[in-house]
Amino acid sequence: MPKGVYKYMNREQFEIRTDLALEVREDIEKKGEELKGVRVSEEERYGGEIRITTVSIETEEAARTMRKEKGKYLTIEVPFVRWEGEEEQELVAGVVADYIRKVLGKEERKSVLVVGLGNRDVTPDALGPQIIDNLCVNRHLIGDGRRQNMISAVAPGVMAQTGIETAVLVKGIVAETKPTAVIALDALAARNIHRLNTTIQLSDAGISPGSGVGNHRHALNKGSLGVPVIAIGIPTVVDAATIVNDTMNRLVEAINSYEGDTFCGGYEMLTEEERRMLVYELFTPEWRGMFVTPKNVDETINNMSITLAKAICYALLGKNRS
Amino acid sequence: MPKGVYKYMNREQFEIRTDLALEVREDIEKKGEELKGVRVSEEERYGGEIRITTVSIETEEAARTMRKEKGKYLTIEVPFVRWEGEEEQELVAGVVADYIRKVLGKEERKSVLVVGLGNRDVTPDALGPQIIDNLCVNRHLIGDGRRQNMISAVAPGVMAQTGIETAVLVKGIVAETKPTAVIALDALAARNIHRLNTTIQLSDAGISPGSGVGNHRHALNKGSLGVPVIAIGIPTVVDAATIVNDTMNRLVEAINSYEGDTFCGGYEMLTEEERRMLVYELFTPEWRGMFVTPKNVDETINNMSITLAKAICYALLGKNRS
Amino acid sequence: MPKGVYKYMNREQFEIRTDLALEVREDIEKKGEELKGVRVSEEERYGGEIRITTVSIETEEAARTMRKEKGKYLTIEVPFVRWEGEEEQELVAGVVADYIRKVLGKEERKSVLVVGLGNRDVTPDALGPQIIDNLCVNRHLIGDGRRQNMISAVAPGVMAQTGIETAVLVKGIVAETKPTAVIALDALAARNIHRLNTTIQLSDAGISPGSGVGNHRHALNKGSLGVPVIAIGIPTVVDAATIVNDTMNRLVEAINSYEGDTFCGGYEMLTEEERRMLVYELFTPEWRGMFVTPKNVDETINNMSITLAKAICYALLGKNRS
Amino acid sequence: MPKGVYKYMNREQFEIRTDLALEVREDIEKKGEELKGVRVSEEERYGGEIRITTVSIETEEAARTMRKEKGKYLTIEVPFVRWEGEEEQELVAGVVADYIRKVLGKEERKSVLVVGLGNRDVTPDALGPQIIDNLCVNRHLIGDGRRQNMISAVAPGVMAQTGIETAVLVKGIVAETKPTAVIALDALAARNIHRLNTTIQLSDAGISPGSGVGNHRHALNKGSLGVPVIAIGIPTVVDAATIVNDTMNRLVEAINSYEGDTFCGGYEMLTEEERRMLVYELFTPEWRGMFVTPKNVDETINNMSITLAKAICYALLGKNRS
């Protein structure tokens, strides 16, 4: 084994960033580690066209292992990647609306603040603000006497634009406007390129804008905001490190299919942990802060924004609101 | 005199909206009313190229008469309407920066929240958000130990987009981020078309987003936010009613220059108050909520945004910050 | 009569700009002039909800009088001004699609170049470019062997951005890409405020970008481009002069309802022509180049863009294209 | 050596895309191939702060080997990556302006059409259109009698938006507007991540929008347009395949620094060609069409756009144009 790998052995684990609980769990399973306190269930709809996986992180220990907050993470996998047709959009909007209705409950009148996280000026990060642009905001239009649910919305921008932690901005707005629930929307990072623009993650565990994991101080969740938070996101980028990982995996396959003299005599004997270290070693620091995204990202973001805006409007105002 | 005029005599005064204290004062002077508690001073700079008028509303009574909050209103009139040249931009930025420095004082380190009011998607209303786009936000970059002033910024959107009173949003953000001062930027309405894009109003009296006058509950000022507020605005639109007023004034001129038989025998004998009523009478309700703006408004807004962003950066970070 | 009016008597007629043939005709009718060579027919659909008026300018003389090109001008008046509901949008899209199909004929495969005229950065002028953003462009996707119609699209910008007459740009693009027809989209100016955002004009007579009338050199029509041109537009602004006109008309009404001493003894006795001259006289030159538009213009433009994009896609690709 | 490598040996060479002649040449040099017909010269300015390399492809054979059109490719490498300060911007603008002046010559009055290639809605591809937004277009303002150079500009969009090959659109516009020269601006792809946003390529050899190499039919150059074409570009993205390549290179380094038992016994003995094949093998097809770009790409694009717009304005209208 190359020396370099040992150099980093004692460091904090090198993780390729993913915002999907589903992928975190897959990763832990691969390592062969036991994962207590996490329950997984699967469901299919529309003749298998849409697959829904629920990952429930039920204990603090599981949350630490997963590096995700305790709570339920629903993953909706859809078979289409361009979201173009109105029929596709309605299908997905319906499934997401069902989830929102279920989490928020039916009893009382709701006032929901929808927060569109992300940077409007960087296309793959514009999902949140673009959903806000398409939303059926009505809080200013309806009186106190009416029974209709109320929707308000903000797209607070990112820290590079405002100079302020986004979670702090949202906390201030929640404190002053007193919604009964918050829906936080964000573009996510996936590890698996097949999940780009094909997977929606819904969670009651909150979200940490612009952070990734472990930055609890700046999370948007029931603890920090005092009201239930539904986080909804779609992966629109992949961390550049993913490509390195992919490359090494394919290298191993190439080696394994090789029957002659030894090419790389050691890699296939490395443990999962050692392999991760090797990938870390091979990952040039310049790639940090870089993301990978497809060329036609503008169209996809646009279509997904329309779909998720519909989902929220259907959930809170009913389908035939217009 | 036409009957119709009398019909409205008892109504609340009909006012053509202006956000400029300078114009409110001119109006009152024209009516021949005495205006106690208002002091006016004028100053010229750069060989008369730039004229600065200060209107100080010093008593509560004057504030009621003027329908503006107590405080100082500085009006900078510039002789160029396109703001194109870098030299012009630097000149104006310098004058505005001087004012900001003077109001904020020099002693201690400042943390200023800059609020870009207005609707990014309606060109003449996009001045505030576009200034934010060009701003030297640095609050997230600099540590507590350093002595440099800090700038943070938000463009909160308008109520039609958020469903929330803008003043309420800003109040929440101020409460959570605790700046030492707020600079509120907005596109204004003028009454005089010659002031479109040629006049900057600076005030320590705060601002009421999207309201016009008399809506004190939703003002952004020291009273509501707890810190000094500098309001900076440029008129980019004119109320549609202004044109009606203009028309009537020109009609009077035409009549006065007419020497033959009586054309309009009465209008020139009307009092200022009666004329106002007549204009109100003639103003079709459909024109309410309409604004007048020039065709090339996109370019002008762009140039003015760059200039005001420079002014704020110069005032707080010094000129050679780059 | 005031002297001033005579001053301009010999000048070219002062006209308040309108791009709607319907309004030009109304105007001429008001003057009491005979209008030979113009045929008008009306039709109602959906139980009177939508009214369609066809103005056919059939002779060169009529074209000169109307100051519009020879051809058919269809005006669709819709009863809703916000275009919000999907149902409303589908209704209008269907009517417009019918018209496009009728003009283009059914026989052969079509390749249509859609031109979105106007300035993307000035909200009420962004209708054309925003329709292009929502369009089902497919020319690059489909092969020569297939029978589906082809759609291509350009948003060429305005002369202040390009330095080039828009008609010249389009001519070059048509010469090189050889479409079988052109659809030209533009935001229009109306004279009557009630037509703002409620009237669609469809015409086979072409369009002159950014010009108004009489500038034949720069028109987009069958003569200049060599292929049929369908012009589609919606008035989103009103000329500032319209307000002056409105004011004078209301002044006359006020006078007429006045029974006491003479207020304005002459205006009601003026001819239509003399009144026009008076309005011209009263119109301050500063208002030229100014337009009037409603505050929520961003939302309306957005909804209308989606509707017209649907109309074109339905007409050429069928309704269930997705 | 792994079998897989051989599988692709007969295929067309796998190339990681780069638009920089400088990188193509480096690559060929690495392979140890002889490169006839290519001349290279280097120059430093401002005390070494800015490095300029000129690659001249002088023969058809060299053009085939390099897969670039014959002509001169100037590469300006700047030491700053954020382009923030006005001083930095002026420095670079001056160097680029010098080049443009030199290529266009001084004698006669010029009419230059500036073409902003790329997709305005995908941030790293928006360089071209954003330069147009900041440009000093004047062709419509100045008369024939004057001696000032004329600038016109178009941002034609990309094929996914228009349905038309961009080169075809530009050809039509050139034919109709008859400029004396064309400046074509585009965001480029680099192979070396260090060249992202730090390298400007200037060339008299034209450019192929959206194509990469070898697609001569759709090039913008003197041959296709009939007038001199200056291509100016800055790499804003890196092909995803670059990361795979990087990874393998670092793997080799790791192996070479390893002194114990054989880890990868073969890779370091592979020829450059065999290594390229291995990288190709390891490159998952899903990554095709993906690009890598930094998170703060919006700011950088903005700053670079202002700088290049200045360069063009200075070159054609002189520095003190405002």
Q: Pick from A141, A159, A168: which is nearest to B176 by CB?
A: A168
Q: Which SS3 state, helix, strand or coil, does residue B266 take?
A: coil
Chain-centroid distance, C-alpha D5: 31
The answer, for C87 touching chain A at a CB cutoff of 8 Å, is yes
Q: Using the beta-carbon criterion (under 8 Å), do B162 and A141 form an inter-chain contact?
A: no
For residue B202, give both structure tokens. 């600076």
B159 contacts on A by Cβ (under 8 Å): 140
Answer yes or no: is pLDDT of C28 > 90.
no
**CA-CA distance, C174 to A317, in Å (whole number)?**
47
The answer, for B318 touching chain D at a CB cutoff of 8 Å, is no
Q: Pick from B153, B174, B175: which is nearest to A162 by CB?
A: B153
Answer yes or no: is pLDDT of A166 > 90.
yes
Rounded average pLDDT over B87-112? 92
Residue whose entry in the numeric block shows the structure tokens 């020829």: D271
Of B34 and D264, the structure prediction assigns the larger pLDDT to B34
Mutate to test the interface with C, among A302, A317, A322 (most CBs of C within 10 A): A322
C155 contacts on D by Cβ (under 8 Å): 157
Q: Each residue of C32-49: pLDDT tens digit?
A: 777 789 999 999 988 888
The answer, for C150 touching chain D at a CB cutoff of 8 Å, is yes
Q: Using the beta-carbon criterion (under 8 Å), do A175 and B172 form an inter-chain contact?
A: yes
Of D118 and A14, the structure prediction assigns the larger pLDDT to D118
CB atoms within 10 A of CB D166: 24
Pairing of strands C181-190, C111-116: parallel
Q: Using the beta-carbon criterion (under 8 Å), do D266 and A266 form an inter-chain contact?
A: no
The answer, for B295 touching chain D at a CB cutoff of 8 Å, is no
Q: Using the beta-carbon criterion (under 8 Å), do D161 and C168 form an inter-chain contact?
A: no
Answer yes or no: is pLDDT of D264 > 60.
no
Q: Residue D213 has what pLDDT? A: 36
Q: Each residue of A50-101: pLDDT tens digit?
A: 899 999 999 999 998 888 889 999 999 987 767 878 888 999 999 999 999 9
Proportion of chain C above pLDDT 90, given as a percent: 53
Q: Using the beta-carbon criterion (under 8 Å), do D121 and A122 form an inter-chain contact?
A: no
> What does pLDDT average to over chain C?
83
Q: Pick from C265, C278, C290: which is nearest to B292 by CB?
A: C290
Contact A293, A193 (CB under 8 A): no
Rounded average pLDDT over A163-181? 96
For residue A127, give both structure tokens. 């999902």
The answer, for B176 touching chain D at a CB cutoff of 8 Å, is no
Residue whose entry in the numeric block shows the structure tokens 């078309």: B193
Contact A56, A39 (CB under 8 A): yes
Pairing of strands B290-294, C290-294: antiparallel
- Count interface pairs A-D at CB distance under 8 A: 157
Q: Residue D144 has what pLDDT? A: 65
Q: Residue A137 has what pLDDT? A: 95
Contact D74, D99 (CB under 8 A): yes
- DSSP label at residue C322: -
Proportion of chain C above pLDDT 70, given as a percent: 80
How distant is the Cα of C84 from the closest Cα of chain A, in angstroms? 7
Proportion of chain D above pLDDT 90, given as a percent: 53
Contact A205, A71 (CB under 8 A): yes
Residue whose entry in the numeric block shows the structure tokens 């308008």: B158
Q: Residue D305 has what pLDDT? A: 96
Rounded average pLDDT over B102-120? 93
Quickly state the pLDDT bin for D52 (edges 50, 70, 90): very high
Q: Residue C319 has what pLDDT? A: 76
B264 contacts on C by Cβ (under 8 Å): 263-267
B88 contacts on D by Cβ (under 8 Å): 322
Q: Residue B130 has what pLDDT? A: 97
Of C61 and B10, the structure prediction assigns the larger pLDDT to C61
> What does pLDDT average to over chain A?
83
Largest Cα separation within chain A, whole Å, is 81
Q: Residue B275 has what pLDDT? A: 66
Answer yes or no: is pLDDT of C309 > 50.
yes
How distant is the Cα of A20 from the closest Cα of chain B, in angstroms? 27
Q: Using the beta-carbon criterion (under 8 Å), do B243 and C287 form an inter-chain contact?
A: yes
Q: Residue C276 has what pLDDT? A: 65
Answer yes or no: is pLDDT of B269 > 90.
no
Of D4 and C118, the structure prediction assigns the larger pLDDT to C118
Q: What is the CA radius of gyration of chain C?
A: 21
> What does pLDDT average to over chain D?
83
Q: Using the beta-carbon criterion (under 8 Å), do C172 and D176 form an inter-chain contact?
A: yes
Q: In 3D, which of A242, A234, A170 has the Cα closest to residue A197?
A: A234
How distant is the Cα of A320 from the closest Cα of chain C, in angstroms? 9
Q: Which SS3 state, helix, strand or coil, does residue B223 take?
A: helix
Proportion of chain B above pLDDT 90, given as a percent: 53
Q: Each residue of B224-253: pLDDT tens digit?
A: 999 999 999 999 999 887 777 777 777 766
Q: Each residue of A22-54: pLDDT tens digit?
A: 998 888 887 777 778 999 999 998 888 889 999
**CA-CA distance, C259 to B75, in Å (whole number)?**
46
Q: In 3D, which of D256, D272, D291, D18 has the Cα closest to residue A243?
A: D291
Q: Residue A321 has what pLDDT? A: 42
How distant is the Cα of A186 from the closest Cα of chain C, in angstroms? 24
**CA-CA distance, A191 to A209, in Å (whole number)?**
18
**CA-CA distance, C117 to C165, in Å (whole number)?**
11
B169 contacts on A by Cβ (under 8 Å): 154, 173, 176-177
The answer, for D282 touching chain A at a CB cutoff of 8 Å, is yes
CB atoms within 10 A of CB A94: 17
How distant is the Cα of B114 from the closest Cα of chain A, in angstroms? 9
Q: Residue B263 has what pLDDT? A: 46
Q: Using the beta-carbon criterion (under 8 Å), do B137 and A161 form an inter-chain contact?
A: yes
Q: Each residue of D182-221: pLDDT tens digit?
A: 999 999 999 888 899 999 999 999 998 764 433 445 889 9
Q: Residue A322 has what pLDDT? A: 37
The answer, for C250 touching chain B at a CB cutoff of 8 Å, is yes
Contact D124, D191 (CB under 8 A): no
Quickly state the pLDDT bin for B300 (edges 50, 70, 90): very high
Helix (H) or strand (E) holding B175: helix B166-177
For residue A145, give both structure tokens. 């006497």
B132 contacts on A by Cβ (under 8 Å): 161
The answer, for A174 touching chain B at a CB cutoff of 8 Å, is yes
Chain-centroid distance, C-alpha C275: 25
C34-73: buried (b, 16+ CB within 10 Å) or exposed (e) per residue? ebebbeeeeeeeeeeebbbbbbbbeeeebbebbebbbbbb
Q: Using the beta-carbon criterion (under 8 Å), do C244 and B247 form an inter-chain contact?
A: yes
The answer, for A88 touching chain C at a CB cutoff of 8 Å, is yes
Proportion of chain B above pLDDT 70, given as a percent: 80
Q: Residue B203 has what pLDDT? A: 96
Answer yes or no: is pLDDT of D313 > 70.
yes
Q: Each residue of B136-174: pLDDT tens digit?
A: 999 998 866 678 899 999 999 999 999 999 999 999 999
Query: What pTM value is reported for the model?
Result: 0.90
Q: Residue B256 has what pLDDT? A: 62
D322 contacts on B by Cβ (under 8 Å): 84-88
- Count interface pairs A-B at CB distance under 8 A: 89
The answer, for C145 touching chain D at a CB cutoff of 8 Å, is no
CA dihedral (C23, C27, C28, C33) in degrees, to 10, reads 150
Q: In 3D, which of A263, A316, A319, A283 has the Cα closest to residue A138?
A: A316
Contact C133, C94 (CB under 8 A): no
Tell me the backbone φ, ψ of residue B84, rounded to 5 degrees. Answer: -80, -45
At what angle are helices D241-256 and A241-256 packed, to 10 degrees? 60
Quickly state the pLDDT bin for C164 (edges 50, 70, 90): very high
Contact D291, D74 (CB under 8 A): no
How distant is the Cα of B234 from the closest Cα of chain D, in angstroms? 22
Answer yes or no: is pLDDT of D253 > 80.
no
- Helix/strand/coil percentages in chain C, nearest 5: 40, 20, 40
Top mean-pLDDT range of A243-247, B109-113, D82-86, D105-109: B109-113
Top mean-pLDDT range of A13-17, A191-195, A196-200, C172-176: C172-176
Q: Residue B9 has what pLDDT? A: 32
Ramachandran region, residue B164 (left: φ > 0; alpha: ψ -120 to 50; beta: rest): beta
Answer yes or no: is pLDDT of C203 > 50.
yes
Answer yes or no: is pLDDT of D128 > 90.
yes
Of A107 and A43, the structure prediction assigns the larger pLDDT to A43
Q: Which of B259-273, D224-238, D247-261 has the lowest mean pLDDT?
A: B259-273
Contact A5, A273 (CB under 8 A): no
Q: Which of A178-187, A275-284, B302-311, D60-69 has the lowest mean pLDDT?
A: A275-284
Q: Residue B10 has what pLDDT? A: 33
The answer, for C44 touching chain A at a CB cutoff of 8 Å, is no
Answer yes or no: is pLDDT of A114 > 80.
yes
Rounded average pLDDT over A245-261? 65
Answer yes or no: is pLDDT of A178 > 60.
yes
| Contacts for C238 with CB less than 8 Å, ≥ 6 apart | B290, C189, C190, C191, C192, C193, C196, C291, C292, C293
Quickly state the pLDDT bin for A217 (edges 50, 70, 90): low
Of D282 and D212, the structure prediction assigns the larger pLDDT to D282
Q: Using the beta-carbon criterion (under 8 Å), do C284 and B246 form an inter-chain contact?
A: yes
ipTM: 0.87
Q: Residue C4 has what pLDDT? A: 34
Q: Pick from A85, A88, A322: which is nearest to C86 by CB?
A: A322
CA dihedral (A102, A107, A108, A109) in degrees, to 10, reads 50
Q: Which SS3 state, helix, strand or coil, does residue D319 take?
A: coil
Chain D contact partners (≥3 CB pairs within 8 A): A, B, C
Q: Pick from D246, D263, D298: which is nearest to A1 by CB?
A: D263
Q: Residue A167 has what pLDDT? A: 94
Answer yes or no: is pLDDT of B220 > 80.
yes
Q: Pick from B84, B86, B322: which is nearest to D85 by CB?
A: B322
Mutate to test the interface with C, among D110, D150, D162, D165 (most CBs of C within 10 A): D162
The answer, for D163 touching chain A at a CB cutoff of 8 Å, is no
Q: Each residue of B164-208: pLDDT tens digit?
A: 999 999 999 999 999 999 999 999 999 888 899 999 999 999 998
Tell me the backbone φ, ψ of residue B199, rounded to 5 degrees. Answer: -130, 130
Q: Which SS3 state, helix, strand or coil, does residue D36 take?
A: coil
The answer, for C121 touching chain B at a CB cutoff of 8 Å, is yes
